[in-house]
Structure 1
Amino acid sequence: MKKNRTLFIILIIIFNIALDQISKFWIRANVTPGSQSEILGDYFTLHNVENSGAFLGLGSDFSPILKIVLLNVLPIIVLTLVLFHIFRDKTLDKFSLIGFCCIIGGGIANLYDRVVYGHVTDFWHIDLGGVFRTGIFNLADVSVMVGMGLLILGNFSKKKA
């Protein structure tokens, strides 16, 4: 059982990283930097944006040393700790386990971009006319948000039981 669980964890993390990196490779190769294309009118648009910060560009104006510490070193430490946690805690429910794997996969994918390219490629934007509007994001961001949702769902399902 331990071998299957370990393989399951590794495959989910790799799947999240691969989807994100393939999508970013396609965007870099096929979408002009700084452009905007309509997918579903103005509601769902495609971009090619280099984000040198974190979520919504936060930290993009930090000093180079602070950026390295907050956007590279700290995430490596946190992702490593979470990875150790999911391998050690055999009591995690499926929602939480998959949620943590999605967060780790998305985190590693964006961290890879920061280390290799010096920025993260973002490309999707949703604007439902003021009711719901996002910043420009990528699949790694989706992985992290899905992971957070699964952690919340796992927490609620634990409390019911």
Structure 2
Amino acid sequence: MKLTKRSLYIILVIVITIAVDQISKVLVRVNIQPRTETTIGERISLIGDKFIMMNIENSGAFLGMGSDLNPTLRIILLLILPILVLGFVLRHIFKDKTIDSWSLFAFASIVGGGLANVFDRIVYGSVTDFFFIDLGGVFRTGIFNIADVSVTTGMIILLFVSLKKKKTIEIPE
């Protein structure tokens, strides 16, 4: 593979995403008392009760889904399958030169965030989550991390790009 500006851009977005995520998780693990089965753990208010930091080890996927699965199924669904999907996405963005710049950034962000969480599952056996937003019943999140933000942002960008493309397609009468 020839290292073009485009390839370097993809690699840079992925590496920065992973680095920011892993640095944030290290800071949380070192500085915030984790919640365990027997303790509530430390809660740090960033903006009142609206934006809170805490340290939760998530052995499942999104919002803890899959944490009850048997170990073999968890390895298949939370490690092997994501690695395969991320590998296919990565191959696609390196090979398809027609991908627009917004979509390229979005796909690279998704791959970077996905790899960062897979790394956690391999190294720590769980993913460190630490942000929580509660806007008084109007909007409330589960507990998430920077990798989750990266994946979600990438998906939102892809949604907007696809909607914009559909809008620009003229339908013959």
| Preserved CA contact (<8 Å) 1:105 1:143 | yes
The amino acid of 2:51's aligned partner reads F
Aligned-pair CA distance for 1:2: 6.4
| Backbone CA RMSD of aligned residues | 1.2
Gaps of 5+ in 1: none
Aligned twin of 1:21: 22
The amino acid of 1:54's aligned partner reads A
For the residue of structure 1 that corresponds to 2:93, the secondary structure is helix
Aligned residues: 161
The structure in which a higher percent of residues are helix is: 1
Q: Are 1:102 and 2:103 matched, yes or no?
A: no
Normalising to structure 1: TM-score of the pair?
A: 0.97
- Find the aligned partners of 2:93 and 2:12 in 1 and give their Cα distance: 14
Aligned-pair CA distance for 1:138: 0.1
**1:8-157 pair list within 5 angstroms:** 8-34=9-35, 35-157=42-164
Aligned-pair CA distance for 1:153: 1.8
- Find the aligned partners of 2:67 and 2:44 in 1 and give their Cα distance: 25
| Preserved CA contact (<8 Å) 1:44 1:127 | yes
The amino acid of 2:143's aligned partner reads I
Gaps of 5+ in 2: 36-41, 169-173
Normalising to structure 2: TM-score of the pair?
A: 0.90
Over residues 72-119 of structure 1, what are the superposed CA-to-partner deviations in whole Å (9 max), with x where a residue is unaligned? 000000000000000111111111110000000000000000000000
Give the greater-gyration-radius structure (CA): 2
